[in-house]
Structure 1
Amino acid sequence: MNYFEQHLSCLENHGFAKWRPAFEELLQHLWFQSKDGNLPRFLNTLQQIPVVPDITCQLNQDWVTVFSNKISSSQSEDIGQLFKKLMPWRKGPFQIFDHRIDAEWRCDLKWNRVVPFISDLQNRKVLDVGSGNGYYGFRMLAAGAATVTGIDPSYLSVCQFLALNQFVQTQKLNVLPMTLEQLPANMEFWDTVFSMGVLYHRRSPFDHLTDLKAALKPGGELVLETLVVEGDEKTVLVPEGRYAMMNNIYFLPSSKVLESWLRKTGFVEVRTVEESYTSTQEQKHSDWKPGTSLPDYLHPDMEHTTIEGLPAPRRAILIARKPLENIRLPRYHVKPASKPSE
Structure 2
Amino acid sequence: MDLTPFKPFFDQLDRTALAAWRSALEAAVLARLGPGAHGDLPQWEAALTELPDLPESTAVLDASCVGLRGADPLSEAMEAQLRETLMRLHPWRKGPFCLRGLHLDTEWRSDWKWDRLAESLTPLKDRLVLDVGCGNGYHAWRMLGEGARLVMGIDPTLLYVVQFQAINRYLGRDCLSVLPLGIEDLPKGITGFDTVFSMGVFYHRRSPMDHLLELGRLLRPGGELVLETLVLEGDGERVLVPPGRYASMRNVWFIPTLEALEVWLARCGFVGVRVADVTRTSREEQRSTDWMRFQSLPDHLDSEDPDRTIEGLPAPTRAILIARRG
Q: Is 2:173 aligned against 1:170?
A: yes
Corresponding position of 2:249: 246
State which of 89, 94, 119 in structure 2 corresponds to 1:91: 94
8 Å CA contact 1:153, 1:177 repeated in 2: yes
Give deviations 1:280-309, integer Å, cap 9, x for gaps: 111112111112111111112224211111
Larger radius of gyration: 1
Where do 1:250-269 residues align within 5 Å? Answer: 250-269=253-272
SS in 2 for 1:4: helix
Which whole-Å CA distance do the structure 1 matches of 2:216 and 2:159 have between them?
A: 28
Q: Which amino acid in structure 2 is aligned with residue 3 of structure 1?
A: P
Q: Which amino acid in structure 2 is aligned with residue 198 of structure 1?
A: V
Which whole-Å CA distance do the structure 2 matches of 1:301 and 1:168 have between them?
A: 44
Give deviations 1:103-157, integer Å, cap 9, x for gaps: 0100010000010111000100110011011110111111111111110011110
Corresponding position of 1:60: 62
Q: Is 2:145 aligned against 1:156?
A: no
SS in 2 for 1:167: helix
Could you tell me how far 1:32 is from its partner in structure 2? 4.9
Q: When the two structures are aligned, how many residues end up with a matched partner?
A: 323
Which whole-Å CA distance do the structure 1 matches of 2:35 and 2:149 have between them?
A: 30
State which of 222, 225, 244 in structure 1 corresponds to 2:225: 222
Which whole-Å CA distance do the structure 1 matches of 2:37 and 2:190 have between them?
A: 29
SS in 2 for 1:59: strand
Q: Which amino acid in structure 1 is aligned with residue 44 of structure 2?
A: F
Pick which of 21-30 and 33-42 moved more.
33-42
Which whole-Å CA distance do the structure 2 matches of 1:233 and 1:30 have between them?
A: 42
Where do 1:256-335 residues align within 5 Å? Answer: 256-323=259-326
SS in 2 for 1:92: coil
Runs of 4+ in 1 over 4 A off after TM superposition: 69-72
8 Å CA contact 2:225, 2:323 repeated in 1: yes
Where do 1:5-44 residues align within 5 Å? Answer: 5-44=7-46
Pick which of 311-320 and 282-291 moved more.
282-291
8 Å CA contact 2:28, 2:187 repeated in 1: no
Q: Which amino acid in structure 1 is aligned with residue 20 of structure 2?
A: K
Give the TM-score normalised by structure 1: 0.91
Which whole-Å CA distance do the structure 1 matches of 2:35 and 2:144 have between them?
A: 30
Could you tell me how far 1:81 is from its partner in structure 2? 0.4
8 Å CA contact 1:191, 1:221 repeated in 2: yes
Could you tell me how far 1:234 is from its partner in structure 2? 2.5
8 Å CA contact 1:63, 1:108 repeated in 2: no
Which whole-Å CA distance do the structure 2 matches of 1:199 and 1:62 have between them?
A: 29
Corresponding position of 1:110: 113
Which whole-Å CA distance do the structure 2 matches of 1:294 and 1:36 have between them?
A: 26
Instruction: Give identity over the alignment, percent.
Output: 46
Q: Which amino acid in structure 2 is aligned with residue 247 of structure 1?
A: R
Give the TM-score normalised by structure 2: 0.95
Could you tell me how far 1:29 is from its partner in structure 2? 1.1
Which whole-Å CA distance do the structure 2 matches of 1:222 and 1:110 have between them?
A: 16
Q: Is 2:238 aligned against 1:235?
A: yes
Q: Is 2:199 aligned against 1:196?
A: yes
TM-aligned CA distance change 1:175 to 1:34, over 3 Å: farther
Gapped regions of structure 2 (runs ≥ 5): none
Q: Which amino acid in structure 2 is aligned with residue 59 of structure 1?
A: L
8 Å CA contact 1:62, 1:108 repeated in 2: no
Supply the RMSD in Å over aligned alpha carbons. Answer: 1.4
8 Å CA contact 1:193, 1:223 repeated in 2: yes
Corresponding position of 1:329: none
Could you tell me how far 1:41 is from its partner in structure 2? 1.1
Which whole-Å CA distance do the structure 2 matches of 1:127 and 1:62 have between them?
A: 24
Corresponding position of 1:45: 47
Gapped regions of structure 1 (runs ≥ 5): 324-342
